Every structure is written in structure tokens, then in C-alpha cells.
Structure 1
Amino acid sequence: MNKIEQVTEWIRGSERVVFFGGAGTSTESGIPDFRSAAGLYRSAQGSGAPPEVMLSHTYFMEHPESFFEFYKKHMIYRDARPNAAHEALAALERAGKLAAVVTQNIDGLHQAAGSRVVYELHGSVHRNRCMACGAAYTLDEMLALPGVAPRCRACGGVVKPDVVLYEEPLDQDVWAGAVEAIRAADVLLVGGTSLTVYPAAGLVGELRGGKLVLMNREETSFDRRADAVVRGSVGEALRRVAEAIVADF
């Protein structure tokens, strides 16, 4: 029995599967990750300050125009579509196998594929809110607002994306939901994340007795703790699992 077959059997016999994913889940949709050779941190060099600085709360508050120039160019991918990983997870949820998705991504592709229970640890580009009056804007509405740093049509205040910037805390309700889901999981699938960014990476430690499966192209520091490690494409691995479990996938 190969590793995919073993993971499939664990999921087939499970009641609460949870998926925890990072940037590598969306690279097959054309969205770059952060730290690889083709990732954001390298491709955005020369944009001004380092990306970690430009995506900080301090930089946003002090240089909103420069922040949005960078944000609109490097963080928004309006043409991106769900890939095999997103579609497989949505199918597993419809089949009653997947209890929740916990994601570090801000692209909304899990919901676009049909997943309903999604904990977005770092927020979403699809939600935006005026910092002055609280008016809400979709992504398209925000991009249509006047100014490089978008200004609210109601009051003129700066509209901030609902994404967690460096220096900002995670949403505690989202965090609590993710912790609860992982603690109750009998299988935790982890895919497309280096597991180096905290506090998110610490979520793996919340698993209470369930099987830990890592699906990654690269090695992580958690590999030795995993019950199974699947090397290669996250989308391909999840597609094969979903095809074996979901009759109409």
C-alpha cells in the first residue's frame, strides 16, 4: 500500500478530517508563494522597502499610497481560479468527510471552489472596510474607488483590506475556531506550508491523537512527527484521494 492509498484509507474510516494549508496550496492557481525561488519575497525585490516591511501595519499607516501600489501588484490575483486541491477539499466536505479548512491564504479560492467551513487565519482580499466609518467593500468595489490608497465613497476615509499585516494580531474568533477544529480532528492534512510562520505553524501541535499527514514539495521540521509524508503536488495528492472516496468527483 503506497502513501496515498494509506491516507485514503485513514480518511475513509474517519469522521472529522481537517485541512490546514498555506501558500503552496494556491501556487497551482498561479499565485506565488512567499519564500521559494519564484516567491514574492524574491520577485518583489526592488519594489522599495523589503516586502515584510511594506506589508506591515506601520508601513500601511505611514505610507498608504506605497502600500497599495505594492499590495495591488503583488497580493491580488483576480484571474486566479481554484485548482485541484481546492476542488478536492470541497468535494470531501460535500461527502461529509472534511469538517473544516484552516488556511493561511487570503485569496478566497477555497470558498470559490465551494468549501463552506473555512477559517482564514490571515483574512481575505475580498473583504475591505473603511477605517473611519466602517463601510464594507468587496474586492472589485475597493479597486474601483478613487485614489491609489482607496478612499471611502461615504466619508473619504482610507479603506483597509481585511488582511492581517505584520505587527497585527490574528482574529481571535477565527483562531479559536481553527484550534477547536484541529483538536477534534481524527485526520489532519497539512499541505503547501513550510510550517515556519508562527503562530499559525503552532496549530499542528493542537492535534489530539489524530493522524498527521504532511503534503508538501519540500521537507519541513514536522516531517518526523507525521504519520505519513506525501512529497509532490498538493493538488495531485488531494485529487487522487478525493477520486478514491467521492464517487462523483
Structure 2
Amino acid sequence: PATTTPLHLVFHLAKAGWLRWYEQLPATVIRPGKTPIALRVGFDDGSGFDLTEAGTKKSLAVYVVRRPDEVPGIARLGPDPLGDDFTRDVLAGLLAGRRTQIKGVLRDQSIVAGIGNAYSDEILHAAKMSPYALAAGLDDAEIDRLYAALRSTLTDAVAQASGRPPADLKDAKRRGIAVHGRRGEACAVCGDEVRSVFFADNSLEYCPTCQTGGKLLADRRLSRLLK
């Protein structure tokens, strides 16, 4: 019937997933388990795309739903940090009362969506803020700096990636990165050595001079917010 709600195909690419678009889908037969292709979608005009996932840890997920918010991962997402309604006061409200590390808050998708590990490092470096700073302890000036750094860092990242073919995305991302993944290199702002803190399955990078007053952060805690 005309009133039927349309279906949505929603997919989460996880860490190693890719979407490859074809103007004309290949005619090759997909053999489950013998190829990195997890799903092939074709359209009436012959175009379509493959969803692929490399590596041994399989986390790619696909849903067919009437509304995107029926997907659990979407339903629990926080606000879009580049949305017009994501103001400085909205950020302040999200931080209020959270006696947890600001790095973990920025990575928590249920608090604010889409930042992740790399860009939380970049935002905190641009804001000249320690990743261990407590969210609830930030004063007005620090929240101002954090908000400005968040918006500018993410806006620049989107601009760097826009229109680039998949093969160029990683290089484009790295060119715009100041500290994440640059352990042992010189900070482009002050020249100090970029340092790392390692956790169970990831790490964070920071500049001691820019962010912690020269103090080296102890590699001692496995915060539940940094897992």
C-alpha cells in the first residue's frame, strides 16, 4: 500500500568494513566464507555495492528496519557534534556532573556520537587539555576551548575526506592528524615528543607540553570508559 513505511538498510562498518560502489555490479558469484564480501546489494539499473570486511575479527553489522532508530546502536547514540543544535551550552550540559575522564566522555557514543579514539586525541590536543581531566571539573574557559576545538577539528576532518576515493582516505586522515598515531614524533605545535598511554586494546596519544604542563601521564589505569 502507498502508506507502507519504506524499509531502510542500515549498516555499521566497524573498524575494518568498507562499502565499494559499482556502476555495474560484477557478475562473479559470491562464495560465503571464501571472500571478504559480507553482503552484495544490487539495483534495477545494474548498479550496486559490496560490503566487505577484512581481518579476523568480524564486527560488521547489517539491519533491515522500518525506522533507523529501531537499530539498537542508533537508538542509543548521543547528539551529532556537527549538528546546528549542538551548541556550547549543549556540550556543557553533557559534561556537567560527569566525574569521568574527558577522553572517555568524548569516546562514549551514547554521550556524543561519532568522535572515536583518533579524533578525541586530536580535539584534546587542539583544546590544550589533558585526556585525564575530569569532565565535571572543567571551568567555563576550558569548556569554551573544548567546544571550539571539537567543532573545528571535526569540520576540518570532514573537509579533508570529502570527495576522496577510498584508497586516499587513510593518507588524507593522517595528513590532518597532529598527535594520534604519532608516538615518538615531534609535536607540530611546540616540538615536544608525542607520548602514548596504552590500554587493553587501544592507546591514546598526547603532547605533554601542550596538554599536561610537561607531566608524563602514568600508563596505569584500565578505565572502563577507555575500553
| TM-score normalised per structure 2 | 0.29
Highest relative contact order (Cα 8 Å, sep 6+), 1 or 2? 1
- Larger relative helix fraction: 1
| TM-score normalised per structure 1 | 0.27
